[in-house]
């Protein structure tokens, strides 16, 4: 799939037909995530891959908009190391860029997914910390739920000229 097409046609996928995550696809998703730019090249991230069904089904208990995990192939918790000195206050943005790369890569490979927000919601962060044994200095930032789309939906075009300011606001 052409890159601009992938960017323009990616949309959030919340309905999956369950198939296991192929190992090579997972590696490509993670490599895509780690290829995102980071502040001072700090690469402050960690990725926790959850594919065990029992574990996945516990996530909606503390993060209510994740019920689609039931038929997903995997969830990837993108976390930032808050002790990374180079990235410091940019950890969350670095993790967000990585998340977008993962979602684009999934779409380009015929999979799909949805970004579910975690940081800065304390309840969700704590839920992931407990469930997955995340250390205190690691901030769970986003949880990307990835799977095989039940249907191919059409992306809404969101370009809005009113949000563009030329030269000045």
- Minimum separation from the CB atom of position 120 to a copy of itself (A): 5
Nearest CA to 46 out of 101, 88, 91 is that of: 91
- Minimum separation from the CB atom of position 150 to a copy of itself (A): 19
Nearest CA to 143 out of 151, 135, 134, 153 is that of: 134
Q: With 0-12 CB in 10 A as exposed, 13-18 as middle and 19+ as buried, what is 99?
A: buried
- Minimum separation from the CB atom of position 16 to a copy of itself (A): 17
Site for a copy of itself in 65-104 (CB under 8 A): 89-90, 92-97, 99-101, 103-104
Site for a copy of itself in 40-69 (CB under 8 A): 43, 45-52, 55
- Angle, nearest 10°, between helix axes 23-34 and 91-108? 140
In the complex with a copy of itself, the residue whose CB is nearer, 46 or 150, is 46
- Minimum separation from the CB atom of position 43 to a copy of itself (A): 6
Total residues contacting a copy of itself by CB under 8 A comes to 72
Residue pointed to by tokens 């940081």? 119
């Amino acid at each position: 799939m052409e890159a601009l097409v992938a960017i323009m046609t990616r949309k959030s996928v919340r309905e999956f037909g369950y198939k296991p995550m192929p190992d090579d696809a997972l590696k490509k998703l993670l490599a895509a995530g780690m290829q995102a730019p980071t502040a001072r090249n700090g690469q402050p991230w960690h990725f926790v891959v959850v594919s065990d069904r029992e574990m996945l089904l516990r996530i909606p208990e503390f993060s209510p908009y994740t019920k689609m995990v039931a038929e997903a192939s995997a969830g990837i918790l993108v976390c930032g190391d808050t002790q990374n000195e180079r990235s410091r206050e940019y950890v969350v943005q670095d993790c967000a860029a990585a998340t977008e790369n993962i979602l684009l890569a999934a779409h380009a490979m015929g999979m799909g997914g949805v970004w579910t927000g975690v940081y800065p919601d304390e309840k969700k962060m704590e839920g992931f910390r407990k469930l997955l044994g995340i250390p205190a200095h690691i901030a769970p930032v986003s949880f990307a739920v990835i799977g095989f789309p039940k249907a191919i939906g059409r992306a809404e075009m969101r370009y809005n000229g009113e949000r563009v300011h030329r030269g000045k606001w």
